Amino acid sequence: MAGMSMKVLCIMVAFMVVVAPYAEAVTCDSVVSKLSPCLNYLKSGGKVPAACCSGVRALNAAAKSTADKKTTCNCLKNAAKSFSGNIKTDKALGLPKMCGVNIPYKISVSTDCNSIK
């Protein structure tokens, strides 16, 4: 019986070693994709769409490592810069709270993403 347990354990460890490198990392494409349902709200205000909050929560769940948080922050900064003038800053700043999410930085072009831990 102990031999069988050891075989199962070895198979599980081998599986984790094979699967671990394929864990999904946060990319700017995934950030934009998850937050695209928020664009109209960020431009015009009104009610936050459910799909927007789903994307905010999914992005928050995906960005667990420091590297993922920094990537997300930089992607948000670049998006904010590209839409400057079209995005209401107060809406962007308040979006995480509106969706029930707490993030460790402000969504702003002035955020220092390298300071995120």
Measured CA to CA, the distance from residue 33 to residue 79 in angstroms comes to 12
CATH of the domain at 89: 1.10.110.10
What pLDDT does 62 receive?
A: 92
Supply the pTM of this predicted model.
0.73
- C-beta of residue 38 within 8 angstroms of C-beta of residue 81: no
Q: Using one digit for the tens of pLDDT, what is the confidence trace for 54-110?
A: 999 999 999 989 999 999 999 988 887 887 678 888 898 899 999 999 887 777 778
Q: For the beta carbon of residue 105, count every other beta carbon within 10 angstroms.
A: 17
Q: Which pLDDT score is estimated for 24? A: 63
- Does the residue 9 lie in any domain? no
pLDDT tens-place string over residues 3-54: 443 343 334 333 333 333 444 689 999 999 999 999 999 999 999 999 999 9
The residue range of the domain holding 96 is 26-115
On whether residue 16 sits in a domain, the answer given is no
Count of structural domains, the chain? 1
Q: Map residue 109 onto helix, strand or coil.
A: coil
What does DSSP assign to residue 65? S
State the Rg of the chain over Cα.
19
